[in-house]
Amino acid sequence: MTTGILAAAGIGAALLFTAGEAEATPVNIPGIGQFEIADEIATQLGITASAPELGIAEAPAAEHAIIETYEFRPVTIPGIGTTPSQSMTAIPDQLVTAAVAEPLPAQRSAAPAPDFRQVTIAGLGKVAVPNSLPPLVGIPGVSDAAGPVPAPMPAAMPKRTVGERAAEAARTRLGASYSSGAVGPDAFDCSGLVQWSYRQAGVELPRTSYSQLAAGTPVSVDELEPGDLVSYYGGGHSALYVGDGQVIHAASYGSGVRLAPVDNMPITGARRF
């Protein structure tokens, strides 16, 4: 507006200086009044007698960017929330990108897999191992979720004593023949069967029944365990206790190796090796 007033004042000054020097044309300036303008100036300004009004307009303002009108919709921004559709924080449709707009449920990707997984080790518990490690399968006591469920560990077999192993060896000779002085494996005398049975268990015993009674550790008949030596007839006959109140011994000709009650003969003593 100020620019327009200054322009009008300039024109007015020009009118005053030129008035009376040439033929004039009356013009009307809005807000100022009617003046006479020399025909020469009126011609330059494009004013004619038929349109004797000089319209003074404001000087054009500085150039501005064109502001477009957008449609808005609410979007959800992580860490900020959902913008209301009518608030100043709403985002133009044209400016919303896939990185800002809330994805549809079907578009949401699954969470990335962890870098580690849990495996269970019997007696130790859960242990984290890298996912890059192949499934731990076929290892007793190890359960890895990445592989099949392992079979349970077999129950530990109880450790057998030397006497138990000797008694088992004697059982394999049931029915073998009796022969004086024989030490197996197909025929035995009484001390020969005891010696052979303990040899299978890794222990070497004396050869004769008397020397066997003199070896080992004395035990009570009430405390007999499988494999203990039971001596009869003053040390003249040897047998092996196998449990359940029975012994295995090479009895005599015609009877061979057989089972018998532990008390079927007079007991002299017992030994454990």
User: What value, to the nearest 5°, has the Cα angle with vertex 13 and ends 10 and 14?
Assistant: 90
176 backbone dihedrals φ, ψ, rounded to 5°: -65, 160
The Cα–Cα gap between 56 and 5 comes to 8
Q: Which residues pair with 247 in a beta bridge?
A: 241, 260
CB-based contact 258:252 (threshold 8 Å) = no
Q: Which residue has the tokens 């203990």?
A: 228
64: which DSSP letter? -
Catalytic residue among 190, 229, 251, 270: 190
Catalytic residue among 165, 173, 237, 271: 237
Catalytic residue among 189, 193, 195, 249: 249
Would you call 64 a catalytic residue per the annotation?
no
Half-sphere exposure of 17 (CA within 13 A, CB side): 8
The Cα–Cα gap between 231 and 225 comes to 14
Residues known to be catalytic: 190, 237, 249
